[in-house]
Amino acid sequence: MLATEDAPKNYLDPRVLEHIKRLDLRARRVVEGFITGQHRSPYNGFAIEFAGHREYVPGDEIKHIDWKVWSKTDRLYIKEYETETNLKATLIVDCSKSMKYGREGWTKFDYASTAAASLAHLLQHQQDSIGLVTFDAKVKDVLPASSRMIQVKEIAHTLESTEPDSGTDVEKVFLELAAQVRQRGIVAIFSDLLAETNVIRNALERFRVRGHEVIVFHVLDDDEIDFPFDEHTRFVGLEGPDIVQTDPRALRNAYVEVVEEYLKEVRKAASSLGVDYTLARTSEPLDAVLSRYLAWRNIGRRRG
């Protein structure tokens, strides 16, 4: 037992994961480690909700079309069985330039995509259908939700081939997304949320008003929170033209204050909107973040 306790830890260390280049493999490792380390069954959570019929969208399997409804209404509806997928999850991953930050090659984007892929893997286990949206200043790639076995691989492939390369405009993008993701379900957002807090609040609100259940994985690097620099440094903005040259020691306290204020604001916004919010530091093992989130969610569910 002792050995198995150790093994997953090794898998889940971000630095170890970094060496695994294929994202789907990486995600499986995370989930396997996560499941081995988890005492409670994760199946408790997602698949209990009822869906009923829903309109056909291209990509749905034809065999699920309810031909009876079609004969009455001349419309294509998908008949969703209780034993099959009853949850639709959309993973929204930020691939703006700011996600490129990270030391020793392990960027926030790497972390976010691994987390997204891991979550996808986990949901796949429950036969939920999963979709993926990546965005920077605009929506980049969209994978419609599907419960096919191949879906995880496709998600992983899409994320792997994405290079964070441009600025963010959270408000505009989220508006667009909220319109696109019409069916109620889970919306999991992986982003560093570097924007004005009221902008973030507005964006999240749009998902909530559409009845989505919103989960936010706020991915931040340790450096961005703790500001540990002590040499004279020139900071060059990743998304903007700003350059600050300073002695970081002189700024540390003020910076940490500003960040804390910001995080507090974000948390406040999230809780007031009923959004599940998890701060994910890139140095933290992924399974810990996932399990923390799930544990929190279970508590919330039992209470609900």
Partner 1 sequence: MSSFFFHPGLFVAGLIAVAVPILIHLLNRRRFRRVDWAPMDFLLKAQQINRRRIKFEDFLLLLLRCLAVALIGMLVARPFLANDKSGALRQLARSERVIVIDDSASMNAQSGGVSSMVKAKDLLRSWIAQLSSEQPNDTVTIALTSAPDKLLANGVPLSENAAADLLEEVENLSTSDISQSMESALGKMERLFSGEGGSQANRVLYVLTDLRERDWPTSGGGTFDVLSRLASKAAGCYVVDVGSEETENLVIESIAPREKAFVSGAPAEFDVIVRNFGRRPATGVTVRLGTDEGLPVERTIDRIEPGQSGVAGFVYTFGAADGEGAVEPVALTAKLGGDSDDFADALPSDNERFFAANVSEGLRVLLVDGDITAKAENSESFFLRKALSPRGALKSGFVVTVIDEAALATEDLSAQDVVVLANVFRLDEERRSKIEAWTRDGGGLMVSLGDHVDDAVYNESLFAEGGVGGMKIVGVQGDPSEEEWLQPVITDEAHPAFRFFTGENRRWLERIKFFQWWKLEITEQGEEEGPVDRRVLARLGGSEGDPLLVDAPWGEGRVMTVASALDLDWNTWAQEGVPYVIAMQEICRYLARSNVLEGEVVAGDSLKVSFDIARYRMDAEVVMPGGQTETLRAAPSAEASRTSEWWLDFGRTNSRGHYRVELTPSGAGGAKEARLFSVNADESEGNLFREDVERMDALLETSGAKLVTAEEKVLSLGGMGAKVEFWRAVLYLLIAVLCVEMCFAWWIGKRR
* Contacts to partner 1 by CB under 8 A: 97-101, 108, 192, 194, 221, 224, 229, 231-240, 242, 244-247, 249-255, 257-259, 262
Q: Do 108 and 219 contact (CB within 8 A), yes or no?
A: yes
Apex CA 90: angle with CA 106 and CA 29, to 5°? 45
| Shortest Å, Cβ 103 to partner 1 | 10
Rounded distance, CA 81 to CA 61, Å?
13
| Shortest Å, Cβ 230 to partner 1 | 10
| Shortest Å, Cβ 228 to partner 1 | 11
If the CB atoms of residues 187 and 280 are measured against partner 1, the closer one turns out to be: 280
| Shortest Å, Cβ 102 to partner 1 | 10
If the CB atoms of residues 65 and 251 are measured against partner 1, the closer one turns out to be: 251
Centre a 10 Å sphere on the Cβ of residue 254 and count the other Cβ atoms it contains. Answer: 10
Rounded distance, CA 170 to CA 208, Å?
15
Q: Do 248 and 233 contact (CB within 8 A), yes or no?
A: yes
| Shortest Å, Cβ 166 to partner 1 | 13
Radius of gyration of the chain (CA): 20
Q: Which two tokens stand for residue 279?
A: 């701060």
Rounded distance, CA 35 to CA 8, Å?
9
If the CB atoms of residues 77 and 101 are measured against partner 1, the closer one turns out to be: 101
Rounded distance, CA 215 to CA 185, Å?
11
If the CB atoms of residues 71 and 245 are measured against partner 1, the closer one turns out to be: 245
| Shortest Å, Cβ 198 to partner 1 | 14
If the CB atoms of residues 55 and 257 are measured against partner 1, the closer one turns out to be: 257
Question: C-alpha distances in angstroms, 139 versus 76, 88, 119, 122, 142?
Answer: 28, 19, 21, 25, 8
If the CB atoms of residues 56 and 262 are measured against partner 1, the closer one turns out to be: 262
